[in-house]
Structure 1
Amino acid sequence: MSAPVQHGLSEHSHGAGVPLQIRSDRPRSTSVADFPAITQQQDLWRYLNVDQLKGLDSEVLAEYSEQVSFSGPDGVSFEWILSSAAPVGSIGLPEDRVSAAGYTNASKTLLVKIADELVSAEQITISVKGDSATASALHIFVEAGKFSSTTLVLEHSGLGVLAENVEISVADEAKLNFVSLQNWESGSAHVSAQFAKLGRNAFLKHTVASFGGDLVRVTPIATFSGPGAEVELNGVYFAEAGQHLENRPFVDHAAPNCKSRVTYKGALQGDKAHTVWIGDVLIRAIAEGTDTYELNRNLLLTDGTRADSVPNLEIETGEIEGAGHASASGRFDDEHLFYLQARGITPDEARRLVVLGFLVEVIQKTGIAELIESLTALLEEKLNRG
Structure 2
Amino acid sequence: MTAPTTAPAEAPHTNAHIDPAAQVADAGFVPVQTRSERPHSFEPGDFGTPTGREVNWKHTPVAQLAPLFEKAPTNDGVSVSFAAGEQYAAAPLAVGAAPRGEFFLAEDVTAAVAWQGSGEALHIRIPREEEVAEPIVLDIRGLGADRRADAHIVIEALEHSTATVVLQHSGSAQYAQNVEIIARDGSKLTVVSLQRWADDAIHAAAHQARVDADATLKHFVISFGGGIVRVNPSVELSGNGSEGYLYGLSYADAGQHLESQVYLHHKGAHTTGDVLYKGALQGESAHSVWIGDVLIGKDATGTDSYEANRNLVLTEGARADSIPNLEIETGDILGAGHASATGRFDDEQLFYLQARGITEEEARRLVVLGFLSDIVQRLGIPEMEAELLAAIEAELAEVSA
- TM normalised by structure 1 equals 0.93
Alignment of 1:338-377 (within 5 A): 338-377=351-390
Match of 1:316? 329
Quote the Cα distance in structure 1 between the aligned partners of 2:73 and 2:290: 27
Q: Which runs of 5+ in 2 are unaligned?
A: 1-19, 22-30
TM (norm. structure 2) is: 0.89
The one of the two structures with greater contact order (alpha-carbon pairs below 8 A, sep at least 6) is 1
Say if 1:20 and 1:282, in contact at 8 Å, map to a contact too.
no
Structure-2 residue corresponding to 1:63: 75
Superposed counterparts of 1:12-23, under 5 Å = 21-23=33-35
Check the 8 A contact 1:75/1:114 in 2, yes or no: no
Distance in 1, Cα, partners of 2:268 & 2:389:
37
Instruction: Report what 1:209 is aligned to.
Output: 222
> Does structure 2 conserve the Cα–Cα contact (< 8 Å) formed by 1:65 and 1:138?
no
Decide whether the 8 Å contact of 1:135 with 1:161 is kept in 2.
yes
The whole-number CA distance in structure 1 between the counterparts of 2:387 and 2:113 is 33
Match of 2:256?
243
Q: Which amino acid aligns with 1:209?
A: I
Structure 1: how far apart are the matches of 2:78 and 2:90? 14
Alignment of 1:130-209 (within 5 A): 130-133=142-145, 134-209=147-222
Map Cα deviations across residues 219-257 of structure 1 (whole Å, 9 max, x no partner).
Answer: 111002210010100000000001000011100111111
> Within 2, Cα distance between the matches of 1:327 and 1:66?
36
Structure 1 segments, 4+ long, off by >4 Å, are 17-21, 71-75
Aligned residue among 261, 275, 295 for 1:282:
295
> Quick one: distance in 2 between partners of 1:174 and 1:86?
19
Structure 2 residue 137 is the aligned partner of structure 1 residue 107: no
Give the number of equivalent residue pairs: 370
Superposed displacement of residue 40, structure 1:
1.1
* Percentage of pairs with the same residue: 47
Residue identity opposite 2:105 in structure 1? L
Q: How far does residue 71 in structure 1 lie from its aligned partner after superposition?
A: 4.8
Aligned to 2:275: 262
| Change in CA separation of 1:202 and 1:159 when aligned onto 2, cut-off 3 Å | same
CA contact (8 A) 2:78 2:143 kept: no
Q: CA deviation digits over 1:152-176, x for unaligned, max 9?
A: 1110000111100000100100001
Pick which of 203-212 and 85-94 moved more.
85-94
Which AA in structure 2 matches 1:107?
Answer: G
Stretch moving more, 189-198 or 46-55? 46-55
Structure 1 CA distance for aligned equivalents of residues 321 and 263 of structure 2:
16
2:309 counterpart (287, 293, 296): 296
Confirm whether residue 330 of structure 1 aligns to residue 343 of structure 2.
Answer: yes
Q: Please, which runs of 5 or more residues in structure 1 have no aligned partner?
A: 1-16
